[in-house]
Amino acid sequence: MSVSLQKGQKVSLSKDNAGLSKVIIGLGWDEASRKKGGLFAPKPKAIDCDASAIVLQNGRLMGKEDLVYFGNLRHHTGTIQHMGDNLTGAGDGDDEQIIVDLAAIPAQYDKIVLVVNIYSAVQRQQHFGMIQNAFIRLVDGRNNTEMCRYNLTDDYSGMTAMIFGEVYRHNGEWKFNAMGQGTTDPGLGELARRFQ
């Protein structure tokens, strides 16, 4: 049974799921309806959100090889894989997925921060206030059962990036923290620098 989380709520992934090894992290969003311009107004560009995983050692990003995103789909350890870029957020269900093999992640890695940024947000004058129905969910990779879901309901107008949540190791067990922290970082590079 899936647990619906509130902002800041933490949940244990391994305690209630004995033998849990792989989790599918699904991230989703929809573009909010926008006012149409005049007859000759240019058609607004679709909002292209990009999900990424920032893999930390002792809470810090040690190098760009620990970023998993559309330009680097697989972590060098082979334990984290991005399933590809969705350019529009169209359709039901997860827009982007990241698969994590918790059982195989080397011991020096203690946290995976899950972020989403709007591609070229500043140039396109786009922000998270133009997005609705954003969520992050964790699914047990053994049986495709949703374990927990966090629906982002705050108003994130003016924010160009979002720290959705983090999967972290604490006292030998994996946990998830629902964060929903908006930022004005223009891209993944700036987001990643927060963790150096």
pLDDT digits (tens, 9 = 90+) for 7-44: 999 999 887 787 889 999 999 888 887 665 555 554 56
Please report, to the nearest 10 degrees, the dihedral formed by the alpha carbons of residues 102, 104, 107, 110 taken in order. Answer: -20
The mean predicted confidence, pLDDT, of the chain is: 89
Q: Which domains does the chain have, with CATH numbers?
A: 3-32+48-193 (2.60.60.30)
HSE-CB at 170 with a 13 A cutoff on CA atoms is: 12
| pLDDT, average across residues 61-84 | 96
pLDDT of residue 24: 95
State percent of the chain over pLDDT 90.
69
d(CA 118, CA 160): 6
Residues 193 and 58: beta-carbon distance below 8 Å = no
CA 46 to each of CA 12, 121, 154, 181: distance values in angstroms, whole numbers, following the listed order = 36, 11, 22, 23
Question: What is the pTM for the complete model shown?
Answer: 0.89
Residues 135 and 151: beta-carbon distance below 8 Å = yes
| Residues contacting 104, CB < 8 A, separation 6+ | 21, 77, 78, 79
State percent of the chain over pLDDT 70.
90
SS3 call for 26: strand
